[in-house]
Amino acid sequence: MAVSIPLWMHNFPRLLRAQPEKQKEVVCAPALTQLVVDLACSNDIRQSLEHVLNRLQSYVSFHLNADIFLIGAPSSYRDQLLHASTATPPIGIAGQLRYQLTEHGVHDANELRYKLPGSAFSVHALQLPFDKNQPACWMVLCFNERLPDSDQINRISAPVAEALTAGLSGWYRQQSRINAAISSEKAAHAAELHDSIAQILGYMRIKASRLTDQCKRKAEPELAEISQDLCHQAQSAYRQTREMIACSRLSIEQGQLVSAISQAISEFEQRSAIVFEMDNRVGGQLLTEDDSQTIFIVREALNNIVRHSHASHARVQLLRQKDSSIRIRIEDNGKGISADEARPDSFGMKIMQERAEKIHANLFILPRKQGGTRIELVIPDLSA
């Protein structure tokens, strides 16, 4: 026992010094290469970016003692903000970036350094250089202390920015190819419909109408009733086919949804004797996760009003809710319908519901107290 005590006392300081420091995960070059591949080949870019930011957060925190955020990607909505699950974004970080870009007249800046008002946070923002046709995206590093100099930050963040740019650029190119292929397929499908079924139905519609007139002139009530039903079905099938062709050819640019809804209302108003009204309370620009899905839902609702409602008046309202979500309300004063009353062979409402789910929206089909039907599409705020 007398020997062990001096040895213990002699070795204790060395044992303390030999304790390895707890190392945080460090992202190295091979991991950044995999990051590029993961983003470029992603089927769900938002989910992929969240995974990537979780990996990058440890790297940035280890080397710079900062949090990393992405603002503006992969959405054209300028305040879209993504971050790691372990990072909490300071209040107003996206809005302050927009303020720096607009109020201070630095539209062409690629790098910004500033403090967040009312807090101890400092920001170093670097724009990721995409093609001009793609929305601007910023990699934002947020420091709870004084900003290090730019050279120190860029030595650490430059490889990360290059990897993010390469990965997202690859994803944008992939999406462009996919959209081009879809548009080409839709155009071919529309051409096939037009050159085959639409022309045949158009011919049948004309012949059925003439047959109905002849039966009426020759006082053949039984044949007149049958021919009138054939005429009605031929006209209905022809209208549906034309609507399918219109939807196949439909292409809408981001930010043009309000204009597309207005054009659709004018188009359906010309097809019927129904008076349509548009009540726009969101302004000239409306952004959703996928504007094409939204306009398809609106067109299907308008088509149902024209074909089934027997209404004299219809109204489309674009409303912004207190939680910043968007409510598109389409109602008529017709005979009324509910989702439970839809025919088993009618796929219109089912397709509308599926399209709403794709953009994480809620679709409601309700009866109006005054008579008629109300359809409400509630779209979440993109900045959430």
**Which value, in Å, is the radius of gyration of the alpha carbons in the chain?**
30
Give residue 345's pLDDT: 45
Question: Environment class of residue 88 by beta-carbon count within 10 Å: exposed (0-12), middle (13-18) or buried (19+)?
Answer: exposed
232-239 contacts, C-beta under 8 A, 24 or more apart = 234/201, 234/204, 234/205, 234/208, 235/205, 235/208, 236/307, 237/201, 238/198, 238/201, 238/202, 238/204, 238/205, 239/271, 239/307
CA distance 221 to 203: 24
Q: Which of 196, 194, 181 is nearest to 246 (CA)?
A: 194
Long-range Cβ contact pairs of 76-84 (< 8 A, separation 24 or more)? 76/135, 76/254, 76/255, 76/287, 77/287, 77/382, 77/383, 78/135, 78/136, 79/383, 80/382, 80/383, 81/383, 82/46, 82/49, 82/50, 82/53, 83/53, 83/57, 84/50, 84/53, 84/54, 84/56, 84/57
Dihedral over Cα of 86, 91, 92, 97: its sign:
negative
- pTM, to two decimals: 0.56
Which ranges of the chain have pLDDT less than 50? 1-4, 8, 12, 15-26, 76, 342-345, 383-384
pLDDT digits (tens, 9 = 90+) for 329-347: 999 999 887 555 544 445 6
Report the first-to-last Cα separation within the chain, whole angstroms: 67
Reported as a single tens digit per residue, the pLDDT across 23-73 is 444 455 558 888 899 999 998 888 899 999 999 998 899 889 999 999 887
Q: Which domains does the chain have, with CATH numbers?
A: 23-176 (3.30.450.40), 252-384 (3.30.565.10)
pLDDT at position 94: 85
Name residue 160's amino acid.
V
